[in-house]
Amino acid sequence: MNKLVGGAAEAVRDIPDGAVLAVGGFGLCGIPENCLDALVDKKVKDLTIVSNNAGVDDFGTGRLLQGRQIKKMVSSYVGENKLFESLVLSGELELEMVPQGTLAERLRAGGAGIPGFYTPTGVGTVVAEGKEVREFDGRLYVLERGLKADFALVKAWRGDARGNLVFRKTARNFNPLCATVGKVCIAEVEELVPVGTFDPDHVHLPGIYVHRLFQGRGYEKRIERRTVAPR
């Protein structure tokens, strides 16, 4: 039941070239930055990454883009990363754009063992190209497939040795969804607590989904866009 490993390098030790990764986070909030840095050091390549976005150029997933370690991104928002944009436009990086709600549901479906679902989002746009479209009750819906990954990388606020996780406020975002779709789920936590600390009703992600866990170090807590009220 003890799922603790020594650190990020040990946690990602068997992620191979060509792996499909589901990466939690939203922008720079709740990203598994220790795991991503370890992948940079490991120099794995040809990765397919399912993530809401790629953050910024020099941080998190952006570092993997700098090293040309990603071959494909499945994302819903790419507006803050100039390198991401240039790689897509030059053809060096494949991009599958997914509406944000559809991305969340594709992850949820994959984690629940549901192979596909119909949604009205994207009908009549490039999102629906090449996909089955059916009519239900007078409205058109496009078939979307559930997502699966070889590994899931997530970050939580607190966790115990059995893998039970609690996320902090909006840093929960895509993390629980990504955790459920990986054959192997790797979690990094800001704070490691003794087993039995959590009230079961307060656990956001049960340990059954988590295979490896470690306490992260050196979190930067960056703010992607700082907005302040006028004085």
Q: Tell me the pLDDT tens digit for each residue of 2-25.
A: 999 999 999 999 999 999 999 999
Residue 131 maps to a domain? no
Residue 220 maps to a domain? no
Residue 223 maps to a domain? no
Residue 230 maps to a domain? no
Count the Cβ atoms, other than its own, within 10 Å of residue 230: 3
Return the residue matching tokens 């459920």. 180
State both tokens at 210. Answer: 């988590």
State which residues form the domain around 196.
Answer: 8-120+146-215
Q: pTM of the entire structure?
A: 0.94
Q: Positive or negative CA dihedral for 102, 23, 67, 189?
A: positive
Residue 226 maps to a domain? no
Partners of 22 in the beta sheet?
50, 152
pLDDT tens profile 186-226 = 999 999 999 999 999 999 999 999 999 999 999 988 877 78
Residue 130 maps to a domain? no
Chain centre distance of CA 219: 17
Number of domains in the chain: 1
Q: At 173, which amino acid appears?
A: N
pLDDT of 132 > 80? The answer is yes
Percent of the chain topping pLDDT 90: 87
pLDDT tens profile 67-94 = 999 999 999 987 778 899 899 999 999 9
Question: What CATH number does residue 77 fall under?
Answer: 3.40.1080.10
Residue 187 maps to a domain? yes
Contacts for 86 with CB less than 8 Å, ≥ 6 apart: none
Residue 141 maps to a domain? no
What does residue 203 show for φ and ψ, rounded to 5 degrees? -75, 125
State both tokens at 169. Answer: 């406020």
- Which candidate, 49, 149, 151, places its Cα nearest to that of 94? 49
Residue with the bigger pLDDT between 44 and 223: it is: 44
pLDDT band at 130 (very low <50, low <70, confident <90, very high): very high
Element (H, E) at 154: strand 149-159
CA distances from 86 to 16, 81, 174 (A): 26, 9, 25
